[in-house]
Structure 1
């Protein structure tokens, strides 16, 4: 998962022409209908793709890769403006979304190497095909989008299929897949994998239409809470947390449907060269963070409908959020980090970055709270802060955290990512309703006490308070948000409390959903039976996300930074690689020193001197699998890549990256 989450956002580009594109042919639709339902789903008579659109992106002010902004425009500190802030056009929204998603993923700062040492932002003219797609059994659709460059190579017939990192919207992998595939003449297919920025304002009854503009609950929206949830609702609901679909369980199917939509879109774009099939079109999957987990889940799947078995030709996964049997799932180590990491980072021998959570509670408050609820052992109850910090550090080390991951985890502490991720995933795994309605709508949910809403500004003495959103804020969410609040003017609110112990208690409730055990000072639930039911719901949801082995013989390259403090490789890529190899997978594994989870933070001088970007290694891995498929060149060998840090103020150089030859 990524909390590439924290960057605010962006949108659209020039002239857009909307027309319909055809659904897959009737024979393929009939074949899909005749297939048995996927395990754990039910057959659904809805069309696979709805709300289909085609838009064109050419000329000096528009293109597929950056909506005409180019590197200079993406580096601008202020997002592209809307002519009417309350009623932006679809083109304005798209341009701003691209601005936001580039800045949320890549290091575009001068000296960072993008566009010079690696990557390209040269204009790529072409067309976009988009739709809502539905996984059988799901309540809510996911978005799919295919970019077809005018320079599409009809001789090579290449599709790069990808999924957004973190919980980002449909352009959330533009800097990963689009930047590599479009300049090479490949079509690029995207999915938001059932998350994204299609927020629904419960106060106003407004959500997001296919083109990013706002509509009412009766419109065809990308996410519409059930009628019972909308009635009398307050605040903001978003798809990842509140779809009640547990979208992570279907990540692989989302990617596969994006590939299906790509082939149908190519049939529409080039009717004289149709049909495009998995047999005559190369399909490479790539993603990072949650997108990396999604493409690895797709590697498990056989064909479906228009896609034959063996539909994927290669997979590249960067810093993947992936869970296998016997490893620690994201929710386990996230809820642990939310409670213990702020305190552990005060352990002086660790030499971590300063800890200053944006929530306003000090790291010492976390030490005091963890001690009071028994997370640090009996001796810590009467100990001082350094002793408590050492106890928190030792518990995290004993559970698998490396010092490098802990140091980089300071970023997630300071930007409130642990709380944001834990609250979102608790709701997703438990299929809970928005917390403001929990008491009346879902009596099993007394633990997810966080609500999402716009906020009044905080002052020195007065904390931020929830309020209804205004028209300007609501109109920008689709472009500006990252898919998980806080961000884009939407805040995460716990119960109002003046005492830090009371403010932090809801974090203990999220941990209880994992452990099934009450912490000593957590807010008492309605009953022990309710905790048991809620715990079982969350654990069931987590188990639905467990990965299986990839198809034998499928070339896979996994790339992970050894300093990753959000998705440590010890909990994710390392156990996945071991499982996949035991099952006979053809897999290469690059472990990169001095690389953490967020390339976008490297524009900060203190971080650029401490870390290197991940994207150059992902692009290189794609180059290597492409050469393997084209010319039979060897796949990359396993490597622990010994990088060299740049001095503060120096530009990135090839020797810093030490990419294997």
Structure 2
């Protein structure tokens, strides 16, 4: 660990722009008028009336007219998709029985577009206000989306904890989201999720479209904004928007301000990184933070690595390295027998390029494994990283982030990559549901990643080498991408702000050794007393994967610990309990049965 003074100087070097006065924040200007919808009876805030059984269904909620779904139908499907993408809702998973709730919560939703200063494109903000909002104990929980998901991408993280307690919930897609644009048809997405022609006022994403552009554009890759650099301000604006929504919902109790309303920020993955970026902003607007498995880059802190670095490294080496692990060590899917030929081809090509050593595939796999271990990967993280290899997630992430960090627009990707419909004949049927079903980063929903370098027995390798060189190289494109990565470095949390970080020890997508562990150590070394870390044994990154039997048998869900962390920081703010201590939590998977409480012990 670096000495306290040195680490403080390192992180303080990250530029932090001064905040506007709190009154100005509360009354921020929106890019569109506020849209208000009511959700009661057979509809509600938590699940649009689907409940646990409806969310468990493998069939998406139907559109009455598939070519022209209504805003209410799109919202229902978006909730179905985002719940299933974040939580383990399988019958043996324990949701609604051991933790969490899907009991209906009636109320209103307030939606708008907001823009951080200097940004070209807006981000979506949404506030859910329950009818039983407790105006005597004013509370807003801010939940930025996980990953690059759309506006409901944080609902499973915050709403089941906050809404039943009478708190409002504020969301932001933090400059990502599923507002895909069909460049050939000239169609974007409006505030209500409906398709609309480019040029229509109030589109959630309206990219610059060069002549002859074709395919699909999406905000995270093509906004030319590097949204990750502004994650903290996205969270801050979402909180301010919620206060405006509360003023509109309860005018007799207005004004709702940062001074008279408790603000707690919670997020997982990219959302966890976003709330930690919010924690560094000046002012007393934020009262507590819970960051689950956060994608956070602590710059000069020992061991810290940006996502782009370890993702491109994993994309290149991990397919080969996994051959060196025993077959039974890897969770399935992907099925080892199906992917092993491709992994062997990767070893052969890496050896031919001098990137690994060894006379045969197994020797090459051993060398790739040793190289990853030497750079900080644990075997547990490698095992849990297998699905990211099998589902080609590393490449999808790297391609999107390269474009974002370099602030490239449509048709400008430094490795020539782009996005288009996989089957043009099916496009008309898929396009109306993109906003509701997209996860914010293709491939998926009929959209594929086009790589002009694809060739040979290992078609993705040359494109991955190009992506990796943007981090390790020295050309103009590399400098642009590297500057964008530097702009995402996190600063220190505000002094005395309660911050509780929750991370699975086995996380294979956002390994704690590269992210949360250096961040917590740096903050503590700099004198931040109210920060704690919960390390969850057998916790990986994707609760939704636990619906696969082999994952559920091996790994414990993370959401129970995020909800428990919210309980703890709320008690700290109520002054009924001290700040929690660091903890290593002996959670475990459910084996062949259903989740039981004993498998999910909570810290004292």
Give the structure-1-normalised TM-score: 0.84
Q: How does 1:459-498 map to 2 (within 5 A)?
A: 467=424, 470-495=427-452, 497-498=454-455
| CA displacement at 1:431 relative to structure 2 | 1.1
Q: 1:395 aligns with which of 371, 386, 395?
A: 371
1:294 corresponds to: 274
Contact 1:356/1:363, CA 8 A, preserved across alignment:
no
Distance 1:359 1:67 in 2: 39
Q: 1:433 aligns with which of 395, 409, 417?
A: 409
Gaps of at least 5 residues in structure 1 are 1-26, 35-45, 303-308, 439-444, 457-466, 517-530
| CA displacement at 1:583 relative to structure 2 | 2.2
Contact 2:184/2:215, CA 8 A, preserved across alignment:
yes
Gaps of at least 5 residues in structure 2 are 1-19
Find out whether 1:367 has 2:310 as its counterpart: no
| CA displacement at 1:369 relative to structure 2 | 2.1
Find out whether 1:224 has 2:206 as its counterpart: yes
For residue 32 of structure 2, give the secondary structure of its aligned residue in structure 1.
Answer: strand
Distance 1:346 1:359 in 2: 10
Distance 2:24 2:214 in 1: 43
Distance 1:533 1:234 in 2: 26
Distance 2:23 2:521 in 1: 39
Find out whether 1:411 has 2:387 as its counterpart: yes
Distance 1:497 1:513 in 2: 18
1:17 corresponds to: none
| Greater shift in the superposed pair: 110-119 or 502-511 | 502-511
Find out whether 1:268 has 2:248 as its counterpart: yes
Structure 1 residues 472 and 101: alpha-carbon distance in aligned structure 2, compared to 1, 3 A threshold: same
2:285 corresponds to: 311
2:552 corresponds to: 608
Structure 1 residues 400 and 98: alpha-carbon distance in aligned structure 2, compared to 1, 3 A threshold: same
Q: 1:500 aligns with which of 453, 457, 480?
A: 457
2:184 corresponds to: 203
Q: Alpha-carbon deviations, 1:44-103, whole Å to 9, x = none?
A: xx94442420000001x2000000000000000010011111111100000000000000
Contact 1:51/1:210, CA 8 A, preserved across alignment:
no
Q: How does 1:502-541 map to 2 (within 5 A)?
A: 502-516=459-473, 532-541=475-484
Find out whether 1:559 has 2:502 as its counterpart: yes
Contact 1:365/1:501, CA 8 A, preserved across alignment:
yes
1:72 corresponds to: 53
Q: How does 1:504-653 map to 2 (within 5 A)?
A: 504-516=461-473, 532-585=475-528, 586-648=530-592, 650-653=593-596
Distance 2:577 2:454 in 1: 62
Q: 2:330 aligns with which of 352, 362, 370?
A: 352
Distance 2:339 2:552 in 1: 25
For residue 571 of structure 1, give the secondary structure of its aligned residue in structure 2.
Answer: coil
| CA displacement at 1:468 relative to structure 2 | 7.5
Structure 1 residues 610 and 94: alpha-carbon distance in aligned structure 2, compared to 1, 3 A threshold: same
| CA displacement at 1:359 relative to structure 2 | 9.2
Distance 1:252 1:633 in 2: 28
1:178 corresponds to: 159
Distance 2:320 2:314 in 1: 10
2:34 corresponds to: 52
| CA displacement at 1:411 relative to structure 2 | 1.1
1:148 corresponds to: 129
| CA displacement at 1:582 relative to structure 2 | 1.8
For residue 500 of structure 1, give the secondary structure of its aligned residue in structure 2.
Answer: coil
Find out whether 1:330 has 2:307 as its counterpart: yes
| CA displacement at 1:348 relative to structure 2 | 3.5
Distance 2:81 2:554 in 1: 24
Find out whether 1:449 has 2:416 as its counterpart: yes
| Greater shift in the superposed pair: 345-354 or 635-644 | 345-354
| Greater shift in the superposed pair: 67-76 or 340-349 | 340-349
Q: Alpha-carbon deviations, 1:99-137, whole Å to 9, x = none?
A: 000000000001111000000000000000010000010
Contact 1:429/1:537, CA 8 A, preserved across alignment:
yes
Distance 1:365 1:452 in 2: 26
1:136 corresponds to: 117
Find out whether 1:157 has 2:157 as its counterpart: no
For residue 280 of structure 2, give the secondary structure of its aligned residue in structure 1.
Answer: coil
Distance 2:261 2:72 in 1: 31
| CA displacement at 1:643 relative to structure 2 | 2.0
Structure 1 residues 144 and 361: alpha-carbon distance in aligned structure 2, compared to 1, 3 A threshold: farther
| CA displacement at 1:448 relative to structure 2 | 2.2
For residue 248 of structure 1, give the secondary structure of its aligned residue in structure 2.
Answer: helix
Q: Alpha-carbon deviations, 1:614-645, whole Å to 9, x = none?
A: 00000000011111212431222101111233
| CA displacement at 1:368 relative to structure 2 | 1.7
Give the structure-2-normalised TM-score: 0.92
Distance 2:112 2:40 in 1: 21
Contact 1:202/1:230, CA 8 A, preserved across alignment:
no
